[in-house]
Amino acid sequence: MIRSTLLVARQKLKLVFVLFVLAGIDQTSASSQTPILGADINKLIVDTMLAKGMKASPRLSKSRKFLACQTGLSVEQMFGSWKTVKVSCNEEGGWGVIVRTNLKTAQKAKAVPKKLTVASTGATGTSVRAKTTPNVTIKALKHRSQVEIMNILALGRSMTRGDVIMPRDIITMAVPVNAASGVFFDPEDIIGRKLKTSVTARKPIQARHLKPKWLVEEDDEVVIQNQAGGISVDMVGIALENGQFGEWIKVQNLSSGIVVVGQIKNKKIISTNAKISPKRVVN
């Protein structure tokens, strides 16, 4: 009887051990699935369209995370154009995200202007090129050494258009007072702001480098709200323009592809104020 009890106990211990090992394998497998970042999706869109002879500049947030996709991602155009694409994970329980590609047409390379040369006639009648190095006098050098200096904000690393400035990106640097035009002194004035153009490291941040603080920005996902007769119908859309509270901007309905004009009610809601009429539809 005792021997039979010991055998049953051993079998239970073996079963518990096997279940423990299987659970560990499942956890290891789950943890090994690295999430897909917005930067990966941007690169996939760029590569896909480049293979089709098009140049894209998608601005999906680089740090945004998506579930891993074992079957791979697909990129397809929407509304009959590559201006907007849908990136999808087609496995069971997969996901999809709509991205504006900012499709660009091929541009001709700008001609580099030739340097102008100034010539004068020497004593022998031959042409002599004037020196391009300006003459710096001792008086000017002394003046430079006495220039008043002030500390302003700059970037500690090079950043590109659309990047968001974070506290770790900011440094201070000393510049002459007469060169401090349109610059910033308080980090709170630039933290969280988006760059309108690329800025190299150790270059002062100026107001012209930053995008305005819009309530709704181009490519933001919004809710298109139509109200009529006490009934409200909401649809998901993408803002095609920047705007402040109360302004009328163009938005695109993601389900139909129709572009309409709506008024900004808050950061998420764009209201057409009534059912969509031909006057509100943009061809």
| pTM for this predicted structure | 0.40
153-200 pLDDT, tens digit each: 999 999 999 898 999 999 999 888 777 677 888 888 888 888 989 999
At 239 the pLDDT is: 94
Q: Give the pLDDT score at 45.
A: 92
Question: How many residues belong to the chain?
Answer: 283
pLDDT of residue 223: 95
Domain 221-282 in CATH 2.30.30.760? The answer is yes
* 152-209: CATH number: 3.90.1210.10
**Domain positions in the chain:** 36-100, 152-209, 221-282
Query: Average pLDDT, stretch 224-230?
Result: 82
CA distances from 66 to 46, 96, 163, 259 (A): 18, 9, 20, 28
When the pLDDT of each residue in the chain is averaged and rounded to a whole number, the result is 76
Residue 2, pLDDT score: 57
Whose CA is closest to 220, among 98, 118, 65, 123?
A: 98
In the chain, the percentage of residues whose pLDDT exceeds 90 is 23
pLDDT digits (tens, 9 = 90+) for 22-57: 555 454 444 447 888 888 999 999 999 888 888 888
